[in-house]
Amino acid sequence: GLVLSCPRLAVAARNYIADRFELLNKDEEFLKLAAHELFAIIGGDSLNVEREELVFESVMAWARHDKEKRLKV
């Protein structure tokens, strides 16, 4: 979205991810997110999860995926 200079697309994509976080965080691609991408997702007010612990567990799984690199973040 932002790469294409289309902020409305970026907002729509962010909202889609926030609404479906519990499904999308199980995907292998979630573990490949850059730190700034992950922080943008979990830092938003629109994140929709039943349990806050799920966000913590997801971040921990993300960090363990590339432990040496990500523990520096």
pLDDT string in tens for the chain (73-residue length): 556 678 888 889 889 999 999 999 999 999 999 999 999 899 988 899 999 999 999 999 999 999 888 877 6
The C-alpha atoms of residue 73 and residue 67 are separated, in whole angstroms, by: 10
Report which DSSP code applies to 28.
G
Answering whether pTM is above 0.85, one says no
